[in-house]
A and B are shown apart, each in its own frame.
Chain A
Amino acid sequence: MTIRRLFLGAAAMLIAGPALAQAPAPAPVPGWAIGRPEGSTLAPHAPRLTVTPLDQVPVSAIRLPPGFQAEVYAHGIPGVRAIAEGPNGTLFAGTRGIGRVYAITRNADGTTRTRIFAQGLTQPSGLVMIGNSLYIFAVNRVLRYDNVEANLDSPPAPVDLTAAYGLPTEQEHGANHHWKFVTLGPDGRVYTNVGVNCNVCDFDRDKFALLVSFRPDGSDRRIEARGVRNSVGMAHHPVTGELWATNHGRDWVGDNNPEDSLLRVRRAGEDFGFPFCLGNWADPEYNRGRACSEFSQPAALLGPHTAVLGMRFYTGTMFPAQYRNQIFIARRGSWNRSRLSGYDVVVAKLDAQGNVTGVEEFLTGLRDDANQRFLDRPVEVHVLRDGSMLVSGEQMGAIYRITYRQ
């Protein structure tokens, strides 16, 4: 019944949606295409929204440093992205195109069981657990399910927090970068992204291209960072509590510019420069005469168009000590580039002061350079309590588990 209500709610929202045509001041070309060179046929890759049989999940192609192994933790989960873990160990998984939130539990024999927990939502990609409550951030909707792990089969109606959060709507975004990543800060606040409402454009810098935080009830919005084009991964440093985030660079400035980036937010409200600059790179069309030195610099550059997404600090003890408090980052992989880049997981190595000293490959093998194909697209990393690490593969609907053995 809840699913039906959700379904009807989503349908009503679609019907009530007052028309993208009424979005303010339509650009002369579509927002996503601004800056696109004539003749390019680059376009986003097709997602896969059907179940991939286990024997076609490309776990055997995965390459890891010595001592690490990859296995399939769960599969048959089309579109799996964000992972949030409940106090009793239930994994909730968000999606975009297929509109579902899954609940994954572990059976006594070590196998997993996947339920469709919610469906019919528009891009429910943002999930966060606070206590026993699951918060789902879909486009234009924020829903809270209380005591969620006790009600996996028949969840009660959620509390609708959409109005309380008051995030920009799909219409205000012009359908650009309106899906969410969400994480819980050590201060008990909810951190999320408000992506820019175009590929690149002049926009309200107090409204878009932000990292923001709220109290869990949606009150007390605070701008944590400005000039962040779109972040789909954030985490707080386990020791310092500083907010770190991944950030997508704009499209259509060639194969090698700008780079995706890793941001370290040292103080609330600092400005990372979009659309004017990224690091010391000045946008060729939107710099507006600004000096890049006036903006905060990224902690690391993560490659052009690599689509950096989920990031987590490794806080477990299973992996060698050198990985502790280092950042694992999923790179979903490029589309706006003539040759593929990303499709892997990298580690940003931090020194004691929190400076990034290098970025190393960790999980590779999913990008086939010779044939310009990819086998899966890593989106989220999640550290389990036993110290193993999960990586969600959106394209093949699988969750991989990475373990270490001496």
Chain B
Amino acid sequence: MILRRFLAAAFLAAATCGAAVAQDARRGAELAAPCMQCHGANGRSQMETIPSLAGQPADFITIQMILLREGLRQAPAMAPFAANLPDRDIEDLAAFFAALPPGPPDERRPRDPALITAAEALVGPRHCATCHVADYGGRNQIPRIAAQREEYLAAAMTQYRDGTRAGPDTQMNGAVVGLSDADIAALAHFLAQK
């Protein structure tokens, strides 16, 4: 019954955010075992450079998996998993991870007030919350960045800045243009502490 309520909620969420398909999170759970080797048993990654997927918007996971499958996003560790993965598997995996409660990794480094202050001066002018929303929880194709792994956030922003990664559009490339490495380090720390 809990599962049924869960699936009903997943269907409702899919229907209201414009995705036309009721993804099957239960089937996604069955497919997710290999993912959890790196992304964490509860979708919260304990591994350096590997992002947490718990609570990511389903559209975000789906689109990123398509970009990985199509060779448009370069992440060598993901290539063998994404290659030839059918759309339905991707959508079901996305529904599963989207429904997991988000949270930080078990070990998170202590809060650094200097970095937080530096980041607070950047998030306003850079309009981070415009797309990622006020609690940085993301929506639709825009990822949850709150409590994401710090070194992963820094690496991702660096890739967007350096033109080695783009989303389905280039909003993020425009958003981080001109940031220094120090700026990125501060933003990554600030968001990881959320």
Find out whether the CB atom of A175 lies under 8 angstroms from the CB atom of B177. yes
Dominant SS at the B interface?
loop
Q: Tell whether, in the assembled complex, residue B87 and residue A50 are in contact, meaning their CB atoms are under 8 Å apart.
A: yes
A19 touches B19 (CB 8 A): no
Minimum CB distance partner of B168 in chain A: A97
B142: which A residues are within 8 A, CB to CB? 43, 46
Known A36-B130, A96-B169; contact A50-B72, beta-carbon cutoff 8 A? no
Q: Is the CB of A176 within 8 A of B170?
A: yes
> Closest residue of chain B to A178, judged by CB?
B170
CA distance A139 to B177 in the complex (A): 18
Surface stretch bound by B, among A7-15, A128-136, A208-216: A7-15
B18 contacts A by Cβ under 8 Å: yes
Q: Does A122 contact B (CB under 8 A)?
A: yes
> Among the listed stretches A25-33, A231-239, A269-277, A350-358, which one makes contact with chain B, having 4 or more residues with CB under 8 Å of it?
A25-33
- Are B173 and A21 in contact (CB-based, < 8 A)? no
- Residues of B close to A7: CB separation below 8 A: 71
B178 A21 Cβ-Cβ under 8 A: yes
Question: Which B130-175 residues have C-beta < 8 A from chain A?
Answer: 130-131, 133, 140-142, 160-164, 166-171, 173-175
B63: interface (CB < 8 Å) = yes
By a CB distance below 8 angstroms, the chain B residues around A45 are 18, 140
The chain A residues found within 8 Å of chain B, CB to CB, are: 7, 10-11, 14-15, 17-21, 23, 26-33, 36, 40-53, 56, 78, 96-100, 119-120, 122, 170-171, 174-176, 178, 373-374, 395-396
The 5 closest A-B pairs by CB, nearest first: A26-B178, A97-B168, A175-B170, A46-B141, A175-B173
Please name 14 further chain A to chain B contacts, defined as beta carbons within 8 Å, in addition to the given A20-B177, A46-B59, A56-B20, sorted by A numbering.
A14-B74, A18-B163, A19-B161, A27-B177, A30-B175, A41-B131, A45-B140, A46-B17, A46-B18, A49-B63, A51-B87, A119-B70, A170-B163, A175-B173
Q: List 18 A-B contacts (CB under 8 A).
A: A14-B74, A17-B164, A26-B177, A29-B127, A30-B177, A31-B174, A41-B130, A47-B141, A48-B18, A50-B91, A51-B87, A78-B66, A98-B168, A122-B72, A174-B177, A175-B174, A176-B170, A178-B170
User: Which residues on B are within 8 Å of A, measured CB to CB?
Assistant: 17-21, 59, 62-63, 66-67, 70-72, 74, 87, 90-91, 125-127, 129-131, 133, 140-142, 160-164, 166-171, 173-179
